[in-house]
Homo-oligomer: A and B are copies of this chain.
């Protein structure tokens, strides 16, 4: 007996943004999914992760990954449940993580689906503290940052998915940790809940001075995940032999032409030379994909024991994803942004 076709809701890219994305760049549509072939599984999306890197996929400028094509589903990682299986490796009810995109259902041949670790308070943690953002934080800090007790680390977006983990791991390693966040609420959370030594509000008119004061021994590691004015404020504070892991530049993602002068590049080059600084870009799964077990074996106990805290900003309903994503690029979220696509 043929099965009832599965109705899939999905959000496709309608047009490439000029500058900041707008709701008009996206369209919600409904399509029937085909029946499963041998080896395939049908997935029901429970939680969709929204992350800054997705802005890059909306552009067709050269990047490290192919862009989303017009009229194609927006890419994105998600936690899903197996609804039907014609693949012996998966059983109905299994929870998996995969790059299944902005949609309510998807069909997969099972490759690149990872099991969600057992015993999580919420499966959405596999998209945050125990997922791509957490691993970005951990690998960039440990491998490029090379943290040493007593050093000073600065990280921006300190209440966010990556920054919050960077700072807490650095605290566990004995560093002085200075966060940067937007607004008093986030700064309070970063200091009181996450235990950073200081948190500077980048919206303050005295931001650069405040940062310099908090980094009274200079900066040994700047974990770069935002770019823009934070970078400018940190560079003069760098100590000799400082390290800058670079995983994101959210401040510049919406720019569509080179900013006017002055040209800040020569001054940066001089600093890199005279302070003997290392700056290194990385893409977590490309560069460290084989070290996921190492990451999970360090992070999972820390999370279980409450040594690493995290906060989620949960938005309900797939149709809310475009607006939530636009807000993410403006810093309107507070914690790891996920969309609850299905209640169960």
Contacts and interface: CB of A to CB of B under 8 A. Distances in A.
Given A247-B273, A282-B276, A263 B266 contact: no
B227 A266 contact: yes
Nearest to A62: B274
B240 A274 contact: no
A281 B287 contact: no
A293 interface: no
Given A64-B275, A272-B280, A275-B64, A258 B264 contact: yes
A287 B274 CA distance: 12
B266 A258 contact: yes
Given A260-B262, A261-B260, A227 B269 contact: yes
Interface string A229-249: 001000000001100001111
Contacts of A277: 280-281
A219 to B, nearest CB: 15
A227 B271 CA distance: 13
A283 interface: yes
A269 B240 contact: no
A260 B259 CA distance: 11
B276 A278 contact: no
A63 interface: yes
Contact of A265 (B56, B263, B275, B282): B263
A248 to B, nearest CB: 7
A276 B281 CA distance: 4
B258 A273 contact: no
B255 A266 contact: yes
A267 interface: yes
Contacts of A287: 241, 276
Contacts of A64: 240, 273-276
B273 A281 contact: yes
A270 interface: yes
Given A240-B64, A261-B261, A262-B260, A278 B279 contact: yes
Contacts of A283: 273, 276
Contact of A259 (B56, B262, B286): B262
A337 to B, nearest CB: 20
A62 B56 CA distance: 37
Contacts of A231: 269
Contacts of A279: 272, 278-280
A233 B270 CA distance: 18
22 contacts: A56-B274, A63-B274, A64-B273, A227-B266, A246-B273, A249-B269, A255-B266, A258-B261, A258-B262, A258-B263, A259-B261, A260-B261, A261-B262, A263-B263, A263-B264, A268-B268, A275-B281, A276-B280, A276-B283, A277-B280, A278-B279, A279-B279
